[in-house]
């Protein structure tokens, strides 16, 4: 092997095999999630599908909880990638159009992957304690940061109306300041408050549609989603960027 070849292969054969096995374990876990539901994503079931023993799988994931956390991290990253793809080609100077495209891309991904979306939104896996809250939040931020950066672009180019900080609850202000400092967000507290309001409303609607909780009233959710999206555009001062989907 030449010196150039050695530089091109930073991982040893053992490390590459380990990485490949981890990928396969996650792929099998995701397949079980889709076909049999989250309660059947177990180390024993994965071992059976892969022709391994459960102790062998535990060498790669020390617990079912660790596996679920890893799977959630992958799903968050995939969602972020889908949203990024949805805004490709749209100019940075048009943050309103980019936000609208991002919202629609998220809904499309969620409807196409209801089981994965449900796992991300579902309760913590059994056994996860409060000490796991920070890793879980950090994984969510892989996706949340995509939306927040779009809001930052909008605020930089076309600031929208926000409440005065003194008009907000002091406890809420403290939490939002902590978020700004922790994640380096270039938005004032009032803009974060509006962002959270819009995000919870939009995300909540996508959740209800994806998980089937709107079916009692609506056979299809697109028209309702677009109406709510238009209202959110008004709140963010980008109503003129809204166009009905083709």
Indicate if 70 and 57 belong to the same structural domain: no
Indicate if 111 and 138 belong to the same structural domain: yes
Q: Is residue 4 part of a domain?
A: no
> 177: domain CATH number?
1.10.357.10
Indicate if 30 and 118 belong to the same structural domain: no
Indicate if 112 and 176 belong to the same structural domain: yes
Predicted confidence at residue 126, as pLDDT, reads 45
Q: Is residue 31 part of a domain?
A: yes
Indicate if 188 and 79 belong to the same structural domain: yes
Q: Is residue 246 part of a domain?
A: no
d(CA 2, CA 216): 65
Indicate if 20 and 123 belong to the same structural domain: no
Q: Is residue 161 part of a domain?
A: yes
Indicate if 171 and 221 belong to the same structural domain: yes
Q: Is residue 89 part of a domain?
A: yes
Tokens of 109: 């991904």
Q: Is residue 128 part of a domain?
A: yes
Predicted confidence at residue 102, as pLDDT, reads 94
Measured between its terminal Cα atoms, the distance across the chain in Å is 55
Could you tell me the residue range of the domain that residue 16 belongs to? 10-61
d(CA 167, CA 230): 26
DSSP letters for 160-213: -----GGGS-HHHHHHHHHHHHHHT--S-HHHHHHHHHHHHHHHHHHHHHHTTT
Indicate if 51 and 69 belong to the same structural domain: no
Single out the residue of 231, 240, 243, 140 nearest to residue 194, CA to CA: 231
pLDDT tens series, the chain, 246 aa? 455 554 555 888 889 999 999 999 999 999 999 999 888 999 999 999 999 999 999 999 999 989 988 898 898 889 889 989 999 999 999 999 999 999 999 999 999 999 999 888 755 444 443 344 455 556 666 667 788 889 999 999 999 999 999 999 999 999 999 989 988 899 999 999 998 888 888 888 998 999 899 999 999 999 999 999 999 999 999 999 999 987
Q: Is residue 43 part of a domain?
A: yes
Indicate if 21 and 106 belong to the same structural domain: no
Q: How many domains does the chain divide into? A: 2
Which of 25, 41, 61 is a domain's end point? 61
Using DSSP, how many helices (H) and how many strands (E) does the chain show? 11, 0
Indicate if 211 and 95 belong to the same structural domain: yes
d(CA 236, CA 3): 56
d(CA 180, CA 175): 9
Residue 108, CB-side half-sphere exposure with 13 Å CA sphere? 14
Predicted confidence at residue 128, as pLDDT, reads 41
Indicate if 39 and 98 belong to the same structural domain: no
> 21: domain CATH number?
1.10.10.60
Indicate if 31 and 112 belong to the same structural domain: no
């Amino acid at each position: 092997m030449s010196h150039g070849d050695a530089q091109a292969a930073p991982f040893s054969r053992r490390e590459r095999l380990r990485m490949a096995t981890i990928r396969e374990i996650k792929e099998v876990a995701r397949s079980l999630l889709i076909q049999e539901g989250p309660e059947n994503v177990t180390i024993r079931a994965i071992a059976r599908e892969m022709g391994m023993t459960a102790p062998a799988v535990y060498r790669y994931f020390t617990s079912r909880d660790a596996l679920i956390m890893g799977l959630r991290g992958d799903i968050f990253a995939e969602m972020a990638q889908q949203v990024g793809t949805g805004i490709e080609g749209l100019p940075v100077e048009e943050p309103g159009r980019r936000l609208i495209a991002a919202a629609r891309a998220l809904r499309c991904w969620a409807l196409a992957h209801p089981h994965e979306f449900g796992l991300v939104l579902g309760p913590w896996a059994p056994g996860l304690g409060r000490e796991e809250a920070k890793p879980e939040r950090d994984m969510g931020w892989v996706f949340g940061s995509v939306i927040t950066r779009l809001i930052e672009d909008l605020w930089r180019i076309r600031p929208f109306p926000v409440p005065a900080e003194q008009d907000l609850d002091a406890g809420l202000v403290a939490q939002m300041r902590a978020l700004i400092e922790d994640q380096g967000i270039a938005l004032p507290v009032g803009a974060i408050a509006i962002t959270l309001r819009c995000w919870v409303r939009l995300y909540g609607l996508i959740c209800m549609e994806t998980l089937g909780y709107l079916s009692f009233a609506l056979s299809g959710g697109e028209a309702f989603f677009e109406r709510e999206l238009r209202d959110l555009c008004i709140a963010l001062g980008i109503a003129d960027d809204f166009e009905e989907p083709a």
